[in-house]
Structure formats: C-alpha cells, structure tokens
Amino acid sequence: MKHIKHIAIYIVFLMPIILFTSCDEDDDGTTTNEQLTAVLLDDFSVGLGEEVVIDFSESIIPGNASGNFVLTYQNGPAPIITSDGNRYELGRSVLQTPDKEETFSFTPQVNGQYDFLLELTSGNTFSNDRVVVTVSGIVELNNSMLANLDELIDITPFDNTVIDYQVNEMLILDSKTLTINNGVHIAFGENAGIIIDNGGELTNIDERNESGLVKFSGDNWKGILVKSGNLKLINSGCIISGAGGSAFEGYQAATITVDQGNIEFDNSVFENSSGINLNLLENAFVTGQGIYSNTFDQHDAIHSSFFNINLIRGNTFSDAEAVVTLNGQGETSLSTNDNAFNIAAGNTNYHFTNGVSLGKPISLLFEEGKNLTMDENTGLVLTAGGTISGKSANSSIISGVNGTGWKGILSGGSLALENVHIDNAGSAAHSVTGNDIQSALYVNNNSSFTNVEINNSGGYGFYSANNSFPNLSTVTFSNCAQEALILPIDFVDAAVSSSVTFTNEITSIPAILLKARASNSSAPEITIPDLNDDNFYRIDQNLDLSVGFTQTLIVEEGVNIKFDNGSSLTIGNRLATDFRGTEANPIIFEATDLSAGWGGVFLNTMANVAHSIDYLNISGGGNVMFTGATEQGNIVVKDTQTSSSNINFDFTNCTFTDSKGWGVVLEISDRQYDFLAAENANTFLNNATGDFLDRNN
C-alpha cells in the first residue's frame, strides 16, 4: 500500500462500512411508534487539509429494535487514504457498525466532492441518506514541506487550469528527486522558481491519461535552472507559462536553463515567456528521445551545443522567424522541422552528414566567415522555402566536404540567398522532385539572390521549376556542367542584368536554357539581352510566343541562341519584333548540332504589327514543317489575315545559310517583300531547297 506524502498532510480516502444496531424505548420499557430513519449531516464544505467527520448520530431506530449502519464512499476523488493507512476505493463501504454514535473521519489531500451513502436496516425495514462534502484549496509549497515529499499529486483532478500548489520562494532540489503527477498545476510568484543541483532530478509520470499536462505558471517567475542534475518531462509533457522574467545569478534569462546535466523534454508548450525558451549550455546533454514535439513561443527559442542537434527535432515555433542557435564542435546529421538556425561566431564551421529536410520556412544565418559543409550526395531541402544569408564582408560557403559533390538546395517555397557561395552542388537529383534534374539550386517559387556565387555545379546552376522568377543582383555562375540558368523567356531581361556574370572553362555549355512562359495571360515586352563574353542561350523545344504575347520581342545585339534538333521559335501575329543586331555584333540563331539542324522561325504577321529584323545570322533551320505552312525554311513568314496591305516588316543585313529547306519562305497575300533585293543587303548561302520562296509568285 502506497503512502502519498504531502506537506505534512496525509490524505485519507474513505470506504468502511457501518453496522449499527439500535433501538429506542421509553423509560418504562415500552416501544415508541417512531419510524426507522437514516440521518446524515447536511451537505457541507471544508478547506483542503481540514478534517472531515461523518456523523449519523441523529438516525432513528424505533423501540428496542436493533439496526445495522453501512456507510459507503459512493463518488469522488479516488481512493481515500486515512491517516492510519487504510485505503478505500469508490463504491466500497468505509464503515459498518451497530453503534450510531460511531463516526468516520479523514483528512482530504485532493480537491473535489466526496459523496457518502448511509444505509440503515432493521429487520425487514431500511432507510438511507446521503451527504456530499466539498473540498477545495491550494497548498502553499515551500522547501520545508518539500523535504518530506517525493511526489506531487494532482489536487484538483482532471483540471489543470485550477492551481494545486502555490510557490513563493526558490525551491531547491538538492540531491533530491521530485516526481510530478499528470494534471498538477504549480503557480509561482515573481522571482520564484526551481533549482536542481547535486544530482537532483525533476520528472513527471511517464504516461498519458485524462488528467492532462503538468502546468507551471506565473507572472515573470524565474523558471527552472539545472545547475547539476536532470530534467525529464516526457510523453505527457507540460505547459510552462510566464517564465524567464528575470535571470538566475550568473545566467541569461530563460524559461529553462541546463548548465550541467541531462534533459529529455517533449510534447510541451511554452507560453508568455521572456528571454530564451530553452538554454542548453556547453555541458548540457539531450538524452533519450530528445527535445521534440514542443511548441516554443520566443524568437530566441533554443540555444544548444551543436552535438545536440540530432535530438532537437519536430518542434513548432509560434514566431515564424524563430531562431535555434547552435554552438559547439563536431560533425553530425540533422533532420528537423525547426524554423531557423543561427550558425554563430566563435564556433567551428558546421557540417551536415546526412542531408537536411526542413518542413517550415527557415532562416539559416551565418555569422561572418562561418561555413557549412555537406557530405557527398546529401542535400538541403527547404519544403516551404526560407532565407540563407551570410555577412557581406566575408561571404559564407556551403560546399561538399573535401571538395566532393552534394545535391544542392531544393526549395519548395520562396528562397532568398545573400552573401553565400554554393560550391560543388548539383551532383545528384533530389529524390523528392520525382525527376532526374541535377541543379545546385532547384526552386519551386520566386527567389532573390544578392551577392551569390554558384561554382562548379554538377548540373544546372539554378533551375526555375514551375516558371518561378529569380531576382538576381551581383550573381556569378562559374563552371556549371549544364546551363547556369533555366528561365521562362519573359523572365530573362528582368532576371539577367549587368551584375549577373557567367564564366565557364567549357565553352560549349550554354549559359541559359530558355523555356516557355507558364501563363497565357497578357505578357509584358520581352527582351532577350546579350550575355557577353561568348555566352549563349539554348532552346530545346518549340518555343511558342503566340497566345498572350501582344507587345514586342526585342533581341539585343550580340545575342546567340542555339536550337536543339526539332526545336523552333514561333512568333504570334500580335507580337512585334525588334531584332537589333549590328555589323560588329550580329544576332545569331543556329543549330546546336549543325548536321541535325532545327525547325527554324515561324513568323506570323497581321496588319499594323511591325517587324524590324537587322543583322540576324540564321543557319541550320528548316527541319520542321510548321502547322499552317506549306514549306520549310530558316524563316517562314505567314500572313494570318486575308487582307494584309498594312503589314510592315523589314529584313536587312541578314544572313540565311545552311537551311534544311529554304532560306526564307514568304506566304503573304497582297504584299510582296523581296528578300533578295540589293537594298536589303541580305545574304543567302548553302540552303538545301533554295534561297527565297515567295508563295505569291
């Protein structure tokens, strides 16, 4: 039988049965005509720790009859344990007696309503009565009481909103273990708290039940300090409210501080905190299942040595910008749902051995000169996007360990990079994409890169999935194994400015792969800028600029686009063209593989849409028959209106060579344009079918 100690109060739980035999006679020995009646006190209330006495002396047994009294504990907090150690469960008799002057007493340790039933029998007759005793109160808990306690019970069962214990001083667990039952609510006064020292331990009952979480509350109380010992609040967890209002001497203000010792902490909630939620110092070790499934409410949520990071996982942060600060040395893997990581100054560079998958928007913040290395073929997956940033004076580097390749960064949400170098990424595809695309950066949403270098990617530099937009400022791509950028054609001008540079020791690799626009809504003016230094674009599909493109396609001087076999460029009838080549820097459209060729340009025209094409060198086209055309060529010009007298276009100083069909095909009624005229200064050479076909003639 277990005795529960509590502030020098022993809780009693009733259940005896009362047997009473009684009869009333007049002085002359004659029996009265009174009726058999069981009588208890009226319902009453007492404070927690006050003695309760159940008295049934007013009961009536007529005449000289004998009677039996049975008192049963019907309902209430169970069980009752009396001061002499007797234990009484619900529904069991606590007293049976023939003596109506006998009483039952106990001292309650638990708040609630205690319901007793008195049953009186005499012969074939019986009577009963009930009494409900309401017990309420709060225990004033201090160190003197604590000396006699090993366990705190739930004084108000099944309701942790009601305070069970009030603490107005610093409780010291010195070489002592204190176990807290589920549902216990401890309230702390200002500057009160708990200190665990010399191997002491604070723990809870490791099981879930209907009693609810342990709760610690107060208004600006200090919190819990583990100077040397253990803190283990697991499985059922706890609620910690209003802590961290002031610091323990020699420490930062925090809800929980562990200086030396072990912590295992899960399924808990921090509310209305001040300071740091959880401060784990250099000699604090996360043990067991770790720190997980907790809810932190502070921006400065967790401070921990880096070697604990594997066991800080799956937590939730009320502040979307919350930071987990990791300090220390060593190499470890990371798998977590935490919001943010601060790779802080004064510590070693960090190394992730097993790839990282973060389920919430995160911030990975590098202090100046701090770097991160990744194991070979591992990756960083930001499911909801986030920010990765270093310091402008000395950019941080994320790279494969010892120069090996790693997968790179996959971002499902918006991604912002600043003052960061990404080296040796793109070695393998991320499995979660469901494709085999290798890229140093693979982004499913809009992104912003400032002062970023992407070096030696094993695949693409930046892959714009779902036609997401990258805002690039002072970005360098060097020595990517495939294109540095994959972009929708209408994003190119906004994304690529003079501050974006491309260098590649392998000159046959394009700088940008152009893709079709995702939406068919009305498009802005499209400009394809020159990439300088012999860098060029590639198109690997039929790039159709028909539906939704209503302004002008501008191609700047010096632009070089290579087309894969079977690819082509279709220009819609509402899209004007302005190709601005010069003699020194002509525009070049050519085949990736001259022997295979490409489809060519299909130029649809209509009234009042102008086309001005100057110094375009186009070669190797004409291996595709465009829908609606009758011939193949480097360029096929087709009128989409029955009346085309207002069509205005000029091709001057252009070179049409090595077509798989005609150099130029003109399919326009009522409008003639002589590509061969001397004044147009066009050049035709080595076109398979012929130089110029005018379908009007």
pLDDT > 90? residue 688: yes
Q: Are 116 and 133 in contact (CB under 8 A)?
A: yes
The two beta strands, 185-188 and 200-204, are unpaired
- Tally Cβ neighbours within 10 Å of residue 685: 12
Q: What is the rounded CA–CA span in Å between residue 322 and residue 265?
A: 19
Q: Are 141 and 7 in contact (CB under 8 A)?
A: yes
Tokens of 352: 């992730």
How confident is the model at residue 133, as a pLDDT?
96
Write down how long the chain is: 697
542: helix, coil or strand? strand
| Interatomic CA distance for residues 539 and 582, integer angstroms | 23
Instruction: Check residue 160 and report its DSSP letter.
Output: T
Question: What are the C-alpha distances in Å from 626 to residues 121, 364, 548, 610?
Answer: 107, 50, 20, 22
State how far the Cα of 79 lies from the Cα of 87, in Å rounded to an integer: 7
Write down the pTM of the prediction. 0.57
Q: What share of the chain is helix, strand, coil (3-state, %, to 5)?
A: 5, 45, 50
pLDDT for 455 beyond 50: yes
| CA pair distance 637, 611, nearest whole angstrom | 11
Say whether pLDDT at 189 is over 80.
Answer: yes
Residue 27 confidence (pLDDT): 43
CA-nearest of 306, 310, 309 to 347 is 306
CA separation for the pair 164, 354 (Å, rounded): 46
Top mean pLDDT of 246-260, 488-502, 641-655 is at: 246-260
* Residue that the structure tokens 């023939």 belong to: 98
- pLDDT tens per residue, range 6-37: 333 333 333 333 333 334 444 444 344 579 99
Cβ pair 297, 277 in contact under 8 A: yes
Question: Mind listing the pLDDT tens digit for each residue in 143-157?
Answer: 999 999 999 988 888
**Domain 5-136, what architecture?**
Sandwich (2.60)
Contact 381, 352 (CB under 8 A): no
What's the pLDDT at 330? 28
Query: Which pairing describes strands 238-241 and 269-271: parallel, antiparallel, or unpaired?
Result: parallel
pLDDT digits (tens, 9 = 90+) for 511-525: 999 988 755 445 567
The answer to whether 550 touches 525, Cβ cutoff 8 Å, is no
Higher pLDDT, 313 or 215: 215
Torsion, Cα of 564, 565, 566, 572 (10° steps): 40
Exposure string of 350-378, with b = 16+ CB inside 10 Å and e = fewer, is: bbbeebbbbbbbbbbbbeeebbbbbbbeb
pLDDT of residue 355: 56
47 has a pLDDT exceeding 60: yes
Percentage of the chain modeled with pLDDT above 70: 85
Q: List, for residues 606-640, the tens digit of each pLDDT value.
A: 777 889 999 999 999 999 999 989 999 999 998 86
Peptide bond into 488 cis (omega under 30): no
What is the 8-class DSSP label of residue 11? Answer: -
How far, in Å, CA of 208 to CA of 603, rounded? 72
User: What is the pLDDT, as a whole number, of residue 667?
Assistant: 85
